[in-house]
Amino acid sequence: MARKPIMAGNWKMNLDHLQAIQVVQQLAYHLDTTDYDATDVVVIPPFTALRSIQTLIEGDRLPIGLGAQNCHWEAAGAFTGEVSAPMLAKLRAQYVICGHSERRTLFGDSDEIVNRKVRAVLAHGMTPIMCVGESEEQRTAGEQEHVVSGQVTAGLHDVTGDQAADLVVAYEPIWAIGTGKTATSEDAQVMCAAVRGVVRELYDGSVADSIRIQYGGSVKPGNVRDLMAQADIDGALVGGASLDPDDFAVICRFART
């Protein structure tokens, strides 16, 4: 079954709402219907820019998906500083990143918390982009498949096969995020195939064939084609390069000849 590639730009804690509008306008200027037909394009601004980007996308009928970088697992309550899944759904966000390594390492998002967030996002009709990936020490010790398979299994706890089939998993080796070091296309393929293998074990072949698996970690215009040529890589979660609309457009247009 053909899986539609998905390119998602995670802006992290960058771009105020005015800068965010400029970036999306310039991105849209570069992309046309052929690109959107070939690839799902998603922008993931900070919370403060979500409303501005939602109105821009809807006002100009841009076929660009909107995502959020995180959410709380509860729908409402005394959680000062947090944002809930139904609030994001109301803004018509379609995607929410769950368990980005920066959340896991800096803000204590354990596998169990990531799973709660994944289920909250699904319960409100959005698609989780669930991030998994090993640290440099874990890779040096040869533990990468074991670590990632544990994260995938824990993150998908109590997620049904139908839900998992529409989910996005981003394999992001921590040592490659924001460092300029990219996994080789072959290493990235091995790990994305391993993630698909875990999904096959947890569910079945049809869920494994449907789930989309992104690679993330210093994806740039210069390496995107090699990565996308791999059988189990269905897109990219892009940090730094997505802040530059010219570069992100080239990444989204990878399928053009």
Q: Which residues bind ligand PEP (CB under 6 A)?
A: 10, 172, 177-178, 216-219, 237-241
Rg, the chain, Cα only:
17
- In the complex, least distance from residue 177 CB atom to ligand PEP, rounded to whole angstroms: 4
Q: Of 209 and 244, which CB lies nearer to ligand PEP in the complex structure?
A: 244
Minimum distance of ligand PEP from residue 215's CB (angstroms): 9
Residue nearest to ligand PEP (CB): 239
Q: How far is the CB of 206 from ligand PEP (least distance, A)?
A: 28
Residue holding tokens 């070939």?
Answer: 38
Structure tokens at 162: 């139908």
Which of 104/208 has CB closer to ligand PEP? Answer: 104
Check: CB of residue 43 under 8 Å from CB of residue 67. yes
Token pair listed for 115: 């799973």
Instruction: Decide whether 104 or 119 has the Cβ nearer to ligand PEP.
Output: 104
Annotated catalytic residue, options 74, 102, 172, 186: 172
Closest distance between ligand PEP and the C-beta of residue 51, in Å? 23
Q: Is 100 a catalytic residue?
A: yes
Of the two residues 155 and 216, which places its CB atom closer to ligand PEP in the complex?
A: 216
In single-letter form, the type of residue at position 27 comes to L
> Among 17, 74, 100, 143, which one carries the catalytic annotation?
100
137 is a catalytic site residue = no
Structure tokens of 7?
């390119």
* 165: CB partners within 8 A, 6+ apart: 203, 206, 207, 210, 211
Q: Give the C-alpha separation, 176 to 72, whole Å.
A: 27
Longest dimension (CA), the chain: 52
Residues designated catalytic: 100, 172
